[in-house]
Amino acid sequence: MSKKQLNVGLIGYGFMGRTHSNAFLQAGRFFDLPYKVNLKAVCARNADRVKAFAENWGYESSETDWRKLIERADIDLIDIASPNDTHAEIAIAAAKAGKMVMCEKPLGRNADEARAMVAAVEAAKVPNTVWYNYRRVPAVTMLKNLLDDGRFGRIFHYRAKFLQDWTISQDLPQGGEGLWRFDVSVAGSGVTGDLLAHNIDTAMWLNGPIKEVSAVTETFIKERKHNLTGDVQPVGIDDASLFLCRFENGSLASFEATRYARGHKALYTLEINGEHCSAFWDLHDLHRIQYFDHRDEGIVRGWRNIHVSDGDQPYLKHWWVPGLQIGYEHTFTHQFADFVTAVGEGKTCAPTFREGMATDLVTDAVLKSAKTRQWEAVGQ
């Protein structure tokens, strides 16, 4: 029997537009999906460039206005891979039109936007997910399974970092193409929403909800020329953001994100320390988990360096042969495959918009605490 069709409409052809397009093409080749996925249309504002993108990736058509894309009866799924200031308006309109919605992170520029997005997809009862793709690194998924097995016992500590160095130059302008992350009106915040959001999503998935936070942020370069106006304007984003927190399970944590750590390009690391076990993961070595189990026999007890590449480890039976690792782009393929599978089974695919909102509630509390210089409870 021929499969049902799933017609995708992508918005944004930048960095994430490429990772998502690759996922749409690859998922059905490696996973047995309940739908045949069609790259129906891509939308971005520049007609020539969006056409060239469509040709390169095999989209059947292109649009320059996302509203037109949403109006189209031949589109089932709207995928939002455009900057943060577009997420809420597009997602709400897509949900009202009855489309499934996949949205890049952070869900909203703040929790209020996220709340309206959750209300829209839940009222329309449309499948939805947020692209927190690091959950789908096989090593990270495996760590989640180990924690859910109860091997770690009581959790005492969680530690996470996301370090980059690409914004150190004073001469870098803010705003516009490629540099919208500096413009607070577009991005919502700096590294808090851009980088820490990833750390927070993974942390809450692994270790449960965060109860309260105490944060410090800094904007090292206070003014930058704006690309769209040509004027030198104050910088409204946080360049660095650090916080301490308490999880609902009683464990304590520290988080740090910056774009001013010279030499680091995308150093996302996490460590978790429990009563029996500890584990450490590093994006630069994404197929490995460092794992320690205190219950091992004393004379050989030590840190194991587990190469997560075997068929009985998460997602890997779908790829090559044992011992061969996969990489960054596969995390998006996994998320898309999981989403389409969940849609076929009438189930939700985590993280849903509601789970994405939970991260925005934490980042709001972080930014508030940095201002008040007080501990702040995470809102509901």
Residue for token pair 């897509």? 94
- Residue 13 binds ligand NAD, judged by CB under 6 A: yes
Give how far the C-alpha of residue 35 lies from the chain's centroid of Cα atoms, to the nearest Å. Answer: 24
Angstrom distance (rounded) from CA 18 to CA 332 = 10
Given candidates 58, 98, 153, 178, which one binds ligand NAD under the rule CB under 6 A?
178
Given candidates 21, 38, 133, 278, which one binds ligand NAD under the rule CB under 6 A?
133
Give the other-Cβ count within 10 Å of 361's Cβ: 20
**Nearest to ligand NAD of 187, 240 (CB atom):** 187
Q: How many residues bind ligand NAD (CB under 6 A)?
A: 22
**Nearest to ligand NAD of 155, 259 (CB atom):** 259
To which H or E segment does residue 360 belong?
Answer: helix 353-372
Give the other-Cβ count within 10 Å of 186's Cβ: 18
Binding mask 82-111 for ligand NAD (x = CB under 6 A): xxx-x-----------------xx------
Report, in Å, the least distance between residue 16 CB and ligand NAD: 3
Contacts of 346 (CB under 8 A, 6+ apart): none
Q: Which residue is nearest to ligand NAD (CB)?
A: 14
Report, in Å, the least distance between residue 149 CB and ligand NAD: 27
CA nearest to 136, candidates 27, 7, 42, 292: 27
- Residue 66 binds ligand NAD, judged by CB under 6 A: yes
Report, in Å, the least distance between residue 86 CB and ligand NAD: 5
**Piece of 78-86, 162-170, 213-221, 233-241 that binds ligand NAD (CB under 6 A):** 78-86
Tell me the three state secondary structure of residue 308.
coil
Sign (positive/negative) of CA torsion 360, 363, 369, 375?
A: positive
Six-digit token string for 153: 């016992």
CA nearest to 126, candidates 335, 359, 339: 339
**Piece of 23-31, 76-84, 200-208, 342-350 that binds ligand NAD (CB under 6 A):** 76-84
Binding mask 35-64 for ligand NAD (x = CB under 6 A): --------xxx-------------------
Q: Answer for the pair 135, 315: CB distance below 8 angstroms, yes or no.
A: no
Kindly list the residues in this chain that would bind ligand NAD in the complex (CB under 6 A): 11-17, 43-45, 66, 81-84, 86, 104-105, 131, 133, 178, 194
